[in-house]
Amino acid sequence: MVGLVLVSHSHEVAEGVAALARQMGGADLPVATAGGLEATGEEHPVGTDAARIVAALEQAWSEDGVLVLMDLGSAVLSAEMALEFLDPDRRGKVRLSGAPFVEGAVSAAVAAKLGRPLDDVAEEALGGLAGKEAHLGAGPAAADESGSLAEQPAGPEVRLPIVIDLPHGLHARPAARLVQTAGAFDADIRVTNVTAGRGPVSARSLNAVATLGVTVGQRIEVVARGPQATLAIDAVRALADRRFDEAPEDLAITEPTPPESAPAVEGAIVGIPASPGIAVGPVRHLHVPELAVPDGAAGTPEEERTRLDTAIVAVRADITHQREAAIMRVGAGEAAIFEAHLLFLQDEALLGPARDGIPDRGAAAAWRDAVTELATIWDELDDPYLRERAGDLRSVGRQVLAKLLGVEAPHGRLPAPGILAIGDLEPADTIALDPASCLGIAVAHGGPTSHAAVLARALGIPAVVGLGDRITELDEEVTIGLDGRTGVVHIDPPWSTIADLEAERAEQLDRERSARARASEPAVMKDGRHVSIMANVGGSSDVAAALAAGCDGGRRRIELRPSHSTVVRSRCGRSTRAPTSRSPTSSCDPRRTRSSACEGSG
């Protein structure tokens, strides 16, 4: 008998559907669930977990095969990852189904009970809505008779104007959340930048939405057509009302800007402050080989498409691991950068041109050209913050290209302690840096809003960007002194300058230690009012870090994300992160899921 595995973001939903399936298929039906994340006490946090799906596959295993049904898109991503952990001989007997979760499970249970083979069970699951559609006259047959479905999605057209009030506009993270929300509904959703006259574009494409170049104060219009148009617009409106779920620190952040006329400093290069702190040490370079792309294809077009798909799957797993590492090191807020990277790998604005170019140029060259063309569009946007997202796309592109070429992808580990001098620094390289060996970062290009700069600040590594190509021409072992607060990088400074920098760094460390020592003292305003310091916690393991930082209490935040991180702001004003992680987990598929969050005080 074919087994069933039910994957849901909710533990209760998965168990309820399983009970319904057993009623239809009998108590002996091999059915297992993977609902929610690992329990903390009596609660199962909302989310999906590849490790739990693997366990469910083992529980429901049948030599006749196993059908997996999933509720939302990140469940699909987690299920795909779970398959990668199976032995190849077992993997071939597992089918992931796009059937409706409840109706598909019931139909599959009946077919499995009758002893039908895996293909038939899967087909029955896909047809699970047939009875409901026939009763309501809303199925494919009714649509074909009217002829309207082929012209445009059935259902009403609903419009929603939104004025974007985010400091950095509709950049990668909020754009990704809009894409995730739009992909959860049976509707064709388009977005137009009304202010700039760009669009409309598909709301299911991260690249298309982000490259509308929507900046703060601009007005967009979201138009939905189809059966769930109203629901989709309601969800987008709620997302906008929540300011696209941006973290408070991202909404309030004021990025440093380069001075209009930065004074020249003798023996130094003046750049843009990116991450505060002082570092003194020898220059270090990352020795990253250029990826030579061969002309022509190595196999047939079909073989080349398979190579590309395989490389994308592998990089998706790598980025998921990078995101998990980022959550552990700098928190979920900054780790959201890698969620946008995952969306790049599913975006038809990138994948379509790459696949179309395979017959003429092969997978590697077609992929390289598609990334280059799309990154150029980002480069030409007016907003500097959005322009810097081109670096994120190129980072993802290089990782896939390395897989296609069978070489190791570039990474950011240094061979010896020192200050990294580099032309551009990608997020994947940044998160791999060890602050114990990477004393500071000096970057020729980019700005303070680049994701690499954001990660450097979160890691506490002093950084200066926009220094120009001269910084990359310095020989290794040349001593430099970097001041991430002023943006000045001293080249081979005299001992007196080094002494001044070291003294200032020691003073900063003393101030930090003193502030931490006072963390448990009451937070009292000058007028005598007491201020409660609360932590935003993701789980019980964050409480210890919150208490160590001097917090009086906390709020628990539960999101449709695989892991959570706490940002604890102590009385001294310093942010301390207390991350948690559940592995292996996956983020949302932008084509089918939407994010939501609920908060409760505790």
Which residue, among 47, 381, 8, 342, has the nearest Cα to 206 in the 3D structure?
A: 342
Strands 488-491 and 272-275 come out as unpaired
Show the beta-strand stretches assigned E in 178-261: 188-193, 198-202, 219-225
- Catalytic residue list contains 451: yes
> Which residues, at least 6 apart from 597, have a Cβ–Cβ distance to it below 8 Å?
242, 245, 557, 558, 559, 560
Sign of the C-alpha dihedral computed for residues 357, 362, 366 and 367 taken in this order = positive
Of 9, 341, 445, 564, the catalytic one is 9
Torsion of CA 78, 181, 235, 143, to 10 degrees: -90
Of 11, 168, 451, 490, the catalytic one is 451
Q: What HEC string does 381-415 produce?
A: CCCHHHHCHHHHHHHHHHHHHHHHHCCCCCCCCCC
How many Å apart are CA 520 and CA 406, to the nearest integer?
53
User: And the tokens for 433?
Assistant: 């840096």
The terminus-to-terminus CA distance of the chain in angstroms comes to 47
Tokens 């095969």, residue? 65
Residues 175, 199 contacting (CB under 8 angstroms): no
Long-range contacts, stretch 364-369, CB < 8 angstroms, 24+ apart? 364/293, 364/294, 364/401, 364/404, 364/405, 365/293, 365/294, 365/295, 365/296, 366/304, 366/308, 367/308, 367/397, 367/400, 367/401, 367/404, 368/293, 368/397, 368/401
Half-sphere exposure of 260 (CA within 13 A, CB side): 0
Which residue, among 345, 401, 416, has the nearest Cα to 369 in the 3D structure?
A: 401
Of 11, 44, 171, 490, the catalytic one is 171
Which run of H or of E encompasses 488?
strand 488-491
Q: 124-137 burial string, b = 16+ CB within 10 Å, else e?
A: bbbbbbeeebeeee
DSSP character for 264?
Answer: P
User: And the tokens for 48?
Assistant: 């999906």
- Catalytic residue list contains 11: no
**Which residues are identified as catalytic?**
9, 171, 451
